[in-house]
Amino acid sequence: METTRSAFVAAGICMAALWPLPAPADDGPGAKPGDEAMSCAQIGAELAPYTQQMAPTVTDLAQTGQELNARAQKRLAEAMPEAAALTAAATAAAADPTGLASKAVGQAEMASQQRIWDQSVAEDKPLADKMNAQMNAVVDQSAPLQANPRIQRLMQLAQEKNCH
């Protein structure tokens, strides 16, 4: 199930990577007779080899992104008790007419957030570096596809027909 979803995410990223370039005209390079009559399924079938070519790279990228997201969610859950305690302290500190308690709590909150940030940067650096390399690989792999007039024509047709 997760692999299937990752494949769909990969296909979506492939399509998004190809989307931004201007599409050729109806009689331009990449156009074939009968293009206007193509259904979304036919357009998808013709694009399938290209998306399948990129799918492994994009799937790896999506999985790395999911892993980074899972780490962030775990860190957030781990930080909740401390955040709740600091919120309670800030509420109690509001009663201090001198403002010293609020200042101390504010500094504690900033220190906590900085510590969590520093920890996440250090822990996630190898995975973030891996993700950057994977993103570069996707960009490098998509460049020749973006230059392919037929793919651009198919993307134009998909947009015109509101294919999803």
Render pLDDT for 132-156 as a digit per residue (tens, 0 to 9).
Answer: 999 999 999 999 988 999 999 999 9
Q: Are 61 and 156 in contact (CB under 8 A)?
A: no
pLDDT of residue 154: 93
pLDDT of residue 11: 52
CA distances in angstroms from 161 to 8, 30, 44, 45, 154, listed in the order given: 20, 17, 12, 15, 10
pLDDT of residue 164: 82
pLDDT of residue 29: 81
Summarize the confidence of residues 13-29 as an average pLDDT.
55
pLDDT of residue 77: 95
Question: How far apart are alpha carbons 118 and 113 in whole angstroms?
Answer: 9
Whether 15 has a pLDDT exceeding 80, the answer reads: no
Summarize the confidence of residues 87-96 as an average pLDDT.
94
pLDDT of residue 4: 45
Whether 107 has a pLDDT exceeding 50, the answer reads: yes
Whether 47 has a pLDDT exceeding 60, the answer reads: yes
| Residue 45 or residue 2, greater confidence | 45
- The parent domain of residue 96 ranges over 2-160
Whether 1 has a pLDDT exceeding 70, the answer reads: no
Burial annotation 46-76 (CB, 10 A radius, 16+ → b, else e)? bbeebbeebbebbbbbbbbbeebeeeeeebe
Quick one: pLDDT band at residue 12, thresholds 50, 70, 90? low
pTM above 0.75, yes or no: no
Whether 6 has a pLDDT exceeding 60, the answer reads: no
Number of domains into which the chain is organized: 1
